[in-house]
Amino acid sequence: MADTIAAISTASGAGAIGILRLSGPEALPIAYRHLSFFEGAFPLSSIKPRNAYTCRFVDGEKKLDQVVFIYFAGPNSFTGEDLCEIHTHGNPILLREALECLFRSGARPAKQGEFTKRAFLNGKIDLNEAEAIGRIIGARSRFELELAQKNAFGEISRLASNLRSQLISLKAECEAEIDFSTEDLTFESLEERKKRIRSISAICSNLLKRSSDTETLLERSRVVLYGEPNTGKSSLMNLILGRDRSIISEIPGTTRDYISEDFLLSGVPIRLIDTAGVRETGDKIEKMGIERSEKEFSQADVRLFVIDVSQKNDWDKFAEENRSKLEGAIVAANKSDIRDPSWDPEYILKKNYPGTVLVEVSCKSRQGLDTLVSEISFKLQGLESSEDYVLLEERNRFHFSSITRSLENCLTLMEEGAPAEIYIKEIDSALEQIGEVNGRVDTEEILGRIFSKFCVGK
């Protein structure tokens, strides 16, 4: 780039340290004009890359701060250009004053994401890694952070490169058959070729599904507490949250509408919802709340059915009558510390309802609470680890979807008996799309849209 940019790279607000960053051909000379070294005369040529210098930042004769200065010579820097960092005390007024000095000396204000954009344009990172940096900065949970870190370290890029190699091999085989069809040469059979195409298509389809599952989790999974009045739903919600959120009362029907709260469970954002107790009632308002409870429970990602085992009940009959609600749910058998003799977990467990898990808990003694939280996490598909999940930006979801469509079209043409000269065009289309995944993007509009989401100093 012909010009030199500068910006504050630390978060807004006061802090112990603030960082000013410059990048471009004049980064070192511009920074040097405002540095006063304790050694006295210290020529610019004496500054060595990647060495930390303690010095003063000055505006003419005025001393602004004592700073640490580091110079990174291009191309061995984050942006691939000469890059300087000036570490000051983190007062926002001080940082702004120092930044204005750099502007007066020839730097211009950096645009949003411009440092990372320059790193991409100079080949220091690919587009997937650039987008992952944005995700790392804005991650709302440990789960999202882990996924962004995997992308920053090249997981999507490596996958795309592998698929590209497979597609190039496939295209080469097709072209060889076209060019040397009259020669006495052996090529792979049509069925073998179809098998290779299906394999590549399956990888893309699986990637898209995993990405869809990931987005669902990132958008806050819904965990809904459901059950009859006074079973302890509100108490359980407060215990899981670790604070009082729902009103607790022995009067049935206290919760007339559902109450929700967003928080992190095992590093994953979820929405915990306490619903109105379900019972027969003539109260119109309570009835509306119960209808909402039924709706929330049916749409939940994790259904938490709370029952009161301190009450005498025909639990075998209860299990039969509530089969549809027990299937796939976590049954929280509350008040287990004062259980009634009629209670036996086998009444529910022996039904072998698919996906049903039973945990005996006590809101009073906190017995079983850790087990219950673990079961909720497990129901959310093992969120202790991001191993089985993948984070795709909207841009890449489009490209992988396009690849899948092209390969499906290719298979259809092959089934219809089309010659290689025809169906190879679909392979070309897939190759073009896979090239876009790692950043063969040359339109300013697309790049602008991606980097506009970054903060100015990044």
366 annotated as ligand-binding: no
Spatial CB neighbours of 177, under 8 Å, sequence gap ≥ 6:
187, 420
435 annotated as ligand-binding: no
pLDDT score of 225: 87
Radius of gyration of the chain (CA): 31
249 annotated as ligand-binding: yes
Helical ranges in 233-306 per DSSP H: 233-241, 284-299
The first and second tokens of residue 450, run together, are 């991606």
Q: CA–CA separation, 407 vs 171, rounded Å?
A: 12
Q: Are 376 and 236 in contact (CB under 8 A)?
A: no
46 annotated as ligand-binding: no
Q: Are 427 and 171 in contact (CB under 8 A)?
A: yes
Q: CA–CA separation, 441 vs 188, rounded Å?
A: 34
Q: CA–CA separation, 109 vs 100, rounded Å?
A: 9
Q: CA–CA separation, 452 vs 135, rounded Å?
A: 13
266 annotated as ligand-binding: no
Q: Are 426 and 409 in contact (CB under 8 A)?
A: yes
214 annotated as ligand-binding: no
What is the value of pTM for the model shown?
0.61
134 annotated as ligand-binding: no
273 annotated as ligand-binding: no
Spatial CB neighbours of 342, under 8 Å, sequence gap ≥ 6:
312, 313, 314, 315
Helical ranges in 11-154 per DSSP H: 27-32, 92-104, 114-121, 127-138, 142-152
Q: Are 262 and 270 in contact (CB under 8 A)?
A: yes
Residue 261 has φ and ψ, to the nearest 5°, of -150, 135
pLDDT score of 405: 94
- b vs e for 136-146, b when ≥16 Cβ sit within 10 Å of the residue's Cβ? beebebbbbbb
Q: CA–CA separation, 147 vs 41, rounded Å?
A: 49
235 annotated as ligand-binding: yes
Sign of CA dihedral 291, 295, 298, 304: negative
Residue 328 has φ and ψ, to the nearest 5°, of 80, 0
Structural domains of the chain sorted by starting position, each given as residue range(s) with its CATH number in brackets: 5-126 (3.30.1360.120), 155-212+394-438 (1.20.120.430), 220-381 (3.40.50.300)
Burial level of 282, CB count in 10 A (0-12/13-18/19+)?
exposed
Spell out the per-residue pLDDT of the chain, length 458, in tens. Answer: 689 999 999 888 888 899 999 999 999 999 999 999 987 778 888 899 999 999 999 999 999 999 999 999 999 999 999 999 999 999 999 999 999 999 999 999 998 889 988 998 898 988 888 888 888 887 777 777 888 888 888 888 889 989 988 888 888 878 777 765 555 555 677 888 899 999 999 999 999 998 887 887 776 678 888 888 888 888 888 888 876 654 444 544 444 456 778 777 766 677 888 877 665 555 555 556 666 767 777 777 888 889 898 989 999 898 898 898 888 889 999 999 999 999 998 988 888 888 899 999 998 888 999 898 888 888 776 544 556 788 888 888 999 999 999 999 999 998 998 888 888 899 889 988 988 887 654 445 445 554 565 566 66
Pairing of strands 259-265, 268-274: antiparallel
47 annotated as ligand-binding: no
Of residues 214, 258, 261, the one with CA closest to residue 242: 261
232 annotated as ligand-binding: yes
pLDDT score of 84: 97
231 annotated as ligand-binding: yes
Amino acid at 158: R
317 annotated as ligand-binding: no
Peptide bond into 75 cis (omega under 30): yes
85 annotated as ligand-binding: yes
